[in-house]
Chain A
């Protein structure tokens, strides 16, 4: 088959690349080297993205985000050590919190529910096309990321596993209320809210609700 040579990068693209203000600053956190490299290359190809760092652990990701402004963190759920939802909660407590997109092999209901509690902004399957991932990152960057809806039966069985107070908290979060408003609604101090969220997340992730960072 005879193919035409790929077109050279357009002037427009180059111009965009040179303007740091219009580009979305990304942090990539994935513990698989090939996926991390693939993400870095794919995202670096996009004219409107700049990959600030690509790291392999949640802790390293948090360090980067403390040093540098990040617009969107693209985070694998399962990491060696702390997982992506732990990182999401930590990132959301930075002075300038980035948007968080969880990039995971499984995007089933349980993770979607846990992602809500961890205040993640979007959930994208690792089986998505690169173009779809980029589109979702752009949505997430402008605050329009979305988490998959929880199937009613799953929501019901999750609720059944929670105690009364947790059910109220979970219900309000699922309804899309920001945590600050939820805390106000339930009359919780921010410290109490923090502890509640941590326990709830532990419960949803199926981990014992032991003290965690």
Chain B
């Protein structure tokens, strides 16, 4: 990158050299005014010039040492990964202004990260609450009204003259399709199985649904038993699996996917792998991927998306440190709405 300014080092060094030269010249004029008229350079003048040059060089060297941490800070600041905000300046000590600046910068990053985590959490919680509300509304209002229409149509069907029979049947089918859609959308919005049955079964149900509705053959490797997990961890793992499988179904051109969940003492790992096209070389993360990342950040988990070590396709891997999620709360199950 080209600079539009003269670097600090050059400016300070130039000013210092100028001042030094002026001071030496002034000194010479004051101490030995007659010598100025002598144009020939004698030994004394050479010594003075050499001394000035030496002092300027030492000055540049010292200045460079002072300014180097600032330059390092600039390089670091340019390289910060704003998607994770995970990096910190190593070895920052409050022993100089540059050190203080580095410390302040680290604090700023940490605060930014905290605030982002908090606001992401707020947004995601609001989103989940809104999804629940819409799912309930769909079920309690639209679904019930369609049921009432269906009941009314049944009465019409039993009384309608035979020439209308076919029409009434067609309308009945349309209403039933509508009801089925309402039900499907409500389930997508709010994974009831998660509330009812917990993570492992909800993932199994999810895998089944992808197989049935989208023809994506999902082979699952899910352990029978998991340690009790906080509800928000279950929800994040479920949503990441849902999003990753949706991506496979939409973009990978693969007809099968693996859904793996494993757990040891200190971490839970979710892997969704397909055998399709893989990521395009210069793909930009879409909203789905950003959403997965935001959710992962929220529970202190890491998310990696890339090609698997062997074979082709794409792999999404979520790692949740179990200690970081806090002590598993007493499983107060959310009331499921039907």
Q: Residues of A at under 8 Å CB distance from B?
A: 1-6, 32, 34-35, 37-39, 41-42, 45, 77-78, 104-106, 110-111, 126-131, 133, 153-154, 157-158, 160-161, 205-208
Supposing A38-B147, A78-B337, A206-B335 touch, asked if A158 and B154 sit within 8 A by C-beta, the answer is no
Supposing A37-B148, A105-B183, A111-B338 touch, asked if A45 and B195 sit within 8 A by C-beta, the answer is no
Q: How far is it, in angstroms, between the C-alpha of A111 and the C-alpha of B195 when the chains are bound?
A: 13
B66, CB-defined interface residue at 8 Å: no
Interface string of B60-97 (1 = CB under 8 A from A): 00000000000000000000000000000000000000
Supposing A32-B144, A153-B204 touch, asked if A207 and B335 sit within 8 A by C-beta, the answer is yes
Partner of B151, one of A1, A38, A105, A111: A38
| A105 adjacent to B333 (CB under 8 Å) | no
B158, CB-defined interface residue at 8 Å: yes
Q: Given the complex, which residues of A lie within 8 Å of B338, measured CB to CB?
A: 77-78, 104-106, 111
**Most interface-central of B144, B149, B183, B334 (chain A CB within 10 A):** B144
Supposing A129-B150, A161-B197 touch, asked if A106 and B183 sit within 8 A by C-beta, the answer is yes
| A207 adjacent to B333 (CB under 8 Å) | yes
Q: How far is it, in angstroms, between the C-alpha of A37 and the C-alpha of B145 when the chains are bound?
A: 11
In the complex, which residue of chain B has the Cβ closest to the Cβ of A110? B196
Q: Given the complex, which residues of A lie within 8 Å of B154, measured CB to CB?
A: 42, 129-131, 133
Partner of A208, one of B195, B200, B333: B333
**Most interface-central of A45, A205, A206 (chain B CB within 10 A):** A206
Q: Given the complex, which residues of A lie within 8 Å of B147, measured CB to CB?
A: 32, 35, 38, 105, 126-127
Partner of A35, one of B148, B159, B160: B148
CB within 8 Å of A: which of B154-179?
154-155, 157-164, 172, 176, 179
The number of A-B residue pairs with CB atoms under 8 Å apart is 114
| A157 adjacent to B201 (CB under 8 Å) | yes
| A161 adjacent to B198 (CB under 8 Å) | yes
Q: Given the complex, which residues of A lie within 8 Å of B152, measured CB to CB?
A: 38, 41-42
| A127 adjacent to B176 (CB under 8 Å) | yes
| A130 adjacent to B150 (CB under 8 Å) | yes
How far does the Cβ of B129 sit from chain A's closest Cβ, in whole Å? 18
Interface residue total, chain B, C-beta cutoff 8 A: 45
Partner of B197, one of A37, A127, A157: A157
A-B contact pairs, 10 of them (CB 8 A): A38-B151, A104-B338, A111-B338, A126-B143, A126-B144, A129-B150, A129-B176, A154-B201, A161-B198, A206-B333
Q: How far is it, in angstroms, between the C-alpha of A94 and the C-alpha of B195 when the chains are bound?
A: 33
Q: How far is it, in angstroms, between the C-alpha of A205 and the C-alpha of B192 when the chains are bound?
A: 11
B127, CB-defined interface residue at 8 Å: no
Q: How far is it, in angstroms, between the C-alpha of A160 and the C-alpha of B224 when the chains are bound?
A: 9
| B332 adjacent to A4 (CB under 8 Å) | no
| B225 adjacent to A160 (CB under 8 Å) | yes
In the complex, which residue of chain A has the Cβ closest to the Cβ of B151? A38
| B143 adjacent to A105 (CB under 8 Å) | yes
B336, CB-defined interface residue at 8 Å: yes
Q: Given the complex, which residues of B lie within 8 Å of A32, measured CB to CB?
A: 140, 144-145, 147-148
How far does the Cβ of B225 sit from chain A's closest Cβ, in whole Å? 7
Q: Given the complex, which residues of A lie within 8 Å of B334, measured CB to CB?
A: 206
| A126 adjacent to B172 (CB under 8 Å) | no
Partner of A41, one of B155, B196, B204, B224: B155
Q: Given the complex, which residues of A lie within 8 Å of B151, measured CB to CB?
A: 35, 38-39, 41-42, 130
B153, CB-defined interface residue at 8 Å: yes
CB within 8 Å of A: which of B108-150?
139-140, 143-145, 147-150
Q: Given the complex, which residues of A lie within 8 Å of B158, measured CB to CB?
A: 45, 130-131
| A35 adjacent to B197 (CB under 8 Å) | no
In the complex, which residue of chain A has the Cβ closest to the Cβ of B169? A129
In the complex, which residue of chain B has the Cβ closest to the Cβ of A113? B196
Supposing A126-B143, A157-B197 touch, asked if A45 and B225 sit within 8 A by C-beta, the answer is no
Partner of A5, one of B161, B180, B193, B204: B161
Q: Given the complex, which residues of A lie within 8 Å of B159, measured CB to CB?
A: 6
Q: How far is it, in angstroms, between the C-alpha of A15 and the C-alpha of B225 when the chains are bound?
A: 62
Q: Given the complex, which residues of B lie within 8 Å of A6, measured CB to CB?
A: 159-161
Q: Given the complex, which residues of B lie within 8 Å of A37, measured CB to CB?
A: 148
| A35 adjacent to B144 (CB under 8 Å) | yes
Q: Given the complex, which residues of B lie within 8 Å of A206, measured CB to CB?
A: 195-196, 333-336
**Most interface-central of A41, A127, A207, A208 (chain B CB within 10 A):** A127
Supposing A4-B161, A32-B144 touch, asked if A127 and B196 sit within 8 A by C-beta, the answer is no
In the complex, which residue of chain B has the Cβ closest to the Cβ of A78? B338
